[in-house]
Structure 1
């Protein structure tokens, strides 16, 4: 396997951060450029170029955006804006934070272990992680993967917020992130309703470690990176990003954009949102994972049993929650995948149910319902157009 890219130690060229940027991002855990066709690929459709450019040109919109569409052996790249203010266009090999799309990776690890009989979907926290609070012991792996566990969200705790606000580069002990809410009761009876929680995927990774005796990072490499050839994907602990990378920005009007690419380290998100990847790798991953190619039919059927629930941020169309996978029902059809957002980045990664086609859609601005509702609505509309292009090309 080729060596991992070395993290950049070049300081991030950023203006002094506004205090509100640090707090808001901490709580969340320029012109049209022609898209080159990848080897064996095709030029991007003009309507997609226009839609992406309009998103970048929106006041307060992301400085850069890139979409990788994979259909069979063909790859199409659509991009607008820049990878860094004053610099070049985004590339499919640029590194970026994939935020909560990392939850799909922890789901891939857990479900592959289930497929092999190492873990069971009805295994409980008490069986695998008896050191966690007794009140949590009845929670199952299935409920963790579907966000129906009732575990309180560690990233919303006052103690966690205080640490990351005081020192955004603080290095957490990732395997003790749940300590921040260990004194809290479950929010509801496990399995009774849906509530998105970053704590869920921390517990998923810990259960995978307990079942195998291997660190989660090793499980990612063995079960996901290597089988899929994801040579530019990693789970770091620090705040630096490998070169080259897409620079992420806070673009809150009327202030000028602020570079927040290296504002936070990954240790405080870990299995819930710490993975760094590239648009090309993310598209390859979701094509296999969303397309059901990593597990057998029995596990895949369980994974695709959906309840009402939205990813964070909401993806295109109507959302429903499976096991570390969301169903997005658009006006053109259904795709499976995951979204994510963190300081400077918002992600969508989806695939057709058969894995025949996939889309990785990345913008260099954090967009969420709580902070930028109008921009999120516009982003979701553009994402739906790209999903329709993906499905229409396959004759759906």
Structure 2
């Protein structure tokens, strides 16, 4: 599909985005992962290199492990095809659905401040939204048990995106695409990952504060965690320097899709741009409970069966805008995400003292590259084991 001002994009970007949304409906356990020798960092580097040479693999990948104040950076491939520039921890990237953790960080702090309650309903806070949705609670939005229809699978939304991938959507009206649809299931009765959930969370946060979501992110997330290179733009441009994201579909060469889509169509559900360095700081603070009270954190850590999208390492369970990944070596909390050109994992130990981020420069999920996803999950579990190993 042609994109204005960009090279011809080989695969329909609409299909790529739809795959990112719908893949959350199907999950499989990761394959058994081989142990990584305790003193052999070369094994981890080799596994990243093998991802870049696998069919459909990313042109570049970076993993950042941090134990206390010690940081280890592993990388393979390049930040931009046709160059030899390696990915740096200060390179910008689209963080995809890991942005849902940021909307969780905002709303849970508002719970602490008495502006919101987890039992608050859409009907109470956002009465303009469809009456059929009014009994859905903030808690159900945060753990994806709301039953809200996913606007990113709506035919009209996809048609507009196909017509102009760089279209500027009114981010605060995205739920209008499914306003005529009933709930998919009774709220709280089951788990189903939906991009609509975190749009509603951001709108609730705005409604009770009278402040724009972007301002709330700055006040409640960026400043407390010293995130200096994180933002929520609504255009398609990427700030320099950035790791280029690609559609990789063998046997064709990688196609740069870094700036092919406007972030306005995903907003609070996946539009944030950040860097591996900032993502490391975020997940250490967020997973470690630094942003919220112990009382609210206990509510956040009530788990239900459900996987992030794409599924993370080990067994996945969903809390409030946070997932628990139980691996053969132990437990980490985090989130994953995928977007045309990018795949992300952020994870940390429950005390926030050890963290891992893994960033790929192509989209990998259950629908578009199931075999590569299982390979990725195996590598991610090996990195978690390295992270948790005593040194």
Give TM class, smaller chain.
Answer: over 0.9
Q: Pick from 157, 170, 182: which aligns with 1:185?
A: 182
Count matched residues: 370
What's the secondary structure of 1:86's corresponding residue?
coil
CA distance in 1, matches of 2:227, 2:306: 29
**Conserved 8 A contact 1:306-1:320:** yes
Instruction: Specify the alignment match of 2:24 in structure 1.
Output: none
1:56 corresponds to 2:52: yes
Deviation at 1:256, TM superposition (A): 1.0
1:45 corresponds to 2:41: yes
**Conserved 8 A contact 2:6-2:260:** no
CA distance in 2, matches of 1:113, 1:246: 34
1:79 corresponds to 2:69: no
CA distance in 2, matches of 1:293, 1:266: 28
Deviation track 1:180-226 (CA, whole Å, cap 9, x = no partner) reads: 00000000110000000000000000000011010000000000001
Instruction: Specify the alignment match of 1:369 in structure 2.
Output: 366
CA distance in 1, matches of 2:124, 2:44: 49
TM-score normalised according to structure 2 size: 0.92
Per mean C-alpha deviation after superposition, the further-off stretch among 159-168 and 48-57 is: 48-57
**Cα separation, partners in 2 of 1:13 and 1:126, compared to 1, 3 Å:** closer
Deviation at 1:68, TM superposition (A): 1.1
Name stretches of at least 5 consecutive residues in structure 1 with no aligned partner.
1-10, 30-42
Deviation at 1:23, TM superposition (A): 2.7
1:293 corresponds to 2:290: yes
Q: Pick from 219, 223, 230: which aligns with 2:220?
A: 223
Q: Pick from 99, 102, 105: which aligns with 1:102?
A: 99
Deviation track 1:358-387 (CA, whole Å, cap 9, x = no partner) reads: 111100010010110000000110011111
Deviation track 1:79-103 (CA, whole Å, cap 9, x = no partner) reads: 0000001220000000000000000
**Cα separation, partners in 2 of 1:44 and 1:222, compared to 1, 3 Å:** farther
CA distance in 1, matches of 2:335, 2:131: 31
**Conserved 8 A contact 1:147-1:197:** yes
1:1-396 residue pairs with structure 2 within 5 A?
Answer: 15-18=7-10, 20-27=11-18, 28=20, 45-87=41-83, 88-393=85-390
Deviation at 1:44, TM superposition (A): 9.1
CA distance in 1, matches of 2:54, 2:87: 18
Deviation at 1:45, TM superposition (A): 2.1
Name stretches of at least 5 consecutive residues in structure 2 with no aligned partner.
22-38
Per mean C-alpha deviation after superposition, the further-off stretch among 385-394 and 124-133 is: 385-394
CA distance in 1, matches of 2:16, 2:241: 23
What's the secondary structure of 1:49's corresponding residue?
helix
Higher relative contact order (CA 8 A, sep 6+): 2
Deviation at 1:13, TM superposition (A): 10
What's the secondary structure of 2:317's corresponding residue?
strand
**Cα separation, partners in 2 of 1:47 and 1:393, compared to 1, 3 Å:** farther
CA distance in 2, matches of 1:124, 1:287: 30
**Conserved 8 A contact 1:21-1:250:** no
Q: What is the CA RMSD across the aligned residues, in angstroms? A: 1.6
